[in-house]
Amino acid sequence: MRNALLLCAFAAYGQDPVEIAKSPTYTEGPVFDKTGNLFFSHHAGIYKLSPGGELTEWIRDADSGFNGHKILPDGTHLVCAAKKAAVVRFDSQGVFLGNAASECDGKPLRAPNDITLDAHGGFYFTDPGGSRVEPIGTVHYVNRAGKVLLSASGLRVPNGLVLDRKGEYLFLAETVPNRILRYKVMSPGVLGAQETFATLPGREGHDATPDGLAMDRSGNLYVAHLGTGQVLVLDKGGQLRQRLPGGNYDVSNLVFGGPGGKQLFITGSVGHRSKTEGRVFRLDLKGEMK
């Protein structure tokens, strides 16, 4: 009965995922620029996929550990580089512009993971380095002047994060406890009390944990759920409403794009992220979720 319900849920939201790009390793950090190029990370750098389907290697750097990626309105790329313990900047041509963040309050960062932009010219990023066992993970904010602030701490692998459309709440995937947290934004970089927005379902025999997040225009939260092959859709109350096919087994991250923003582009790998090839899939969404 459970499988039948899942199949019905998948059918309600369009066709099966369509593979649009391959990588020899796990893919992450999908983001579109203004002209429709899709960028995504892999173990040795960053690929660029043109609107016409041409795949090129935009940056080659096997010592970077590139992950989360966002593009500022002026075209500057911000990329989490875990191995460099920094958030780095590139221009639109892939020229390195220096670090956007490498320390906070005089302490070096550990391994930045993912980014979300706000409406004030700043951005939040997660730093889960070393927090799989001990709750030392953090969330930071970088303001328009480039100052790095500590916004949240005491986390076990803080991962994907996204602001709601009004910038009132920050949603955060905490990987080890397999849950989504929510914080009220008091002012740029200043967060209110932590609350558990949703505890996610597990998968027996598999490492089922949340990674990247995205939010649609209706306020539904889309969660890339590692180890399940699924994108989980949570409503405004944190209730699980849909399970969408992610294409990949380890579904790592996701971004809306395409005509009207009604396509979901999903990164990850066909098997476990440490030892199988990476893929990017496109899922055409239908129904009430936009």
CA dihedral 190, 102, 71, 209 (to 10 degrees): -70
Q: Rounded distance, CA 253 to CA 204, Å? A: 22
The single residue listed with the structure tokens 């699980």 is 240
Whole-angstrom CA distances from 21 to 24, 191, 255 are 10, 37, 15
pLDDT in tens, 133-191: 999 999 999 999 999 999 999 999 999 999 999 999 999 999 999 999 999 999 999 99
Instruction: Report pLDDT for 48.
Output: 98
Instruction: Report pLDDT for 202.
Output: 86
Give domain limits for the chain.
2-284
The percent of residues above 70 in pLDDT, for the chain, comes to 93
Q: What phi and psi, each to the nearest 5 degrees, are found at residue 5?
A: -65, -40
The single residue listed with the structure tokens 């990329």 is 79
The burial of 74, by beta-carbon neighbours within 10 Å (0-12 exposed, 13-18 middle, 19 or more buried), is given as exposed
Q: Rounded distance, CA 155 to CA 21, Å? A: 33
Residue 18 pairs in a beta bridge with 282
Do residues 250 and 269 lie in contact, with contact meaning Cβ atoms separated by under 8 Å? yes
Do residues 286 and 16 lie in contact, with contact meaning Cβ atoms separated by under 8 Å? no
The single residue listed with the structure tokens 């899942």 is 6
Do residues 82 and 112 lie in contact, with contact meaning Cβ atoms separated by under 8 Å? yes
pLDDT in tens, 53-98: 999 999 999 999 999 999 999 999 999 999 999 999 999 999 999 9
Q: Rounded distance, CA 223 to CA 164, Å? A: 14
Instruction: Report pLDDT for 183.
Output: 98
Right CATH for 2-284 from 2.120.10.30, 1.10.1200.120, 2.60.120.260, 1.10.3720.10 = 2.120.10.30
3-state secondary structure of 3: helix
Q: Rounded distance, CA 222 to CA 228, Å? A: 14
219-224 long-range contacts (CB < 8 A, ≥24 apart) are 219/164, 219/165, 220/289, 221/162, 221/171, 221/180, 221/197, 222/254, 222/264, 223/160, 223/173, 223/180, 224/160, 224/251, 224/252, 224/253, 224/254, 224/266, 224/267, 224/268
The single residue listed with the structure tokens 């379902």 is 201
pLDDT in tens, 6-62: 333 443 455 689 999 999 999 999 999 999 999 999 999 999 999 999 999 999 999
Do residues 20 and 32 lie in contact, with contact meaning Cβ atoms separated by under 8 Å? no
Instruction: Report pLDDT for 49.
Output: 98
Instruction: Report pLDDT for 14.
Output: 55
Q: Rounded distance, CA 81 to CA 289, Å? A: 33
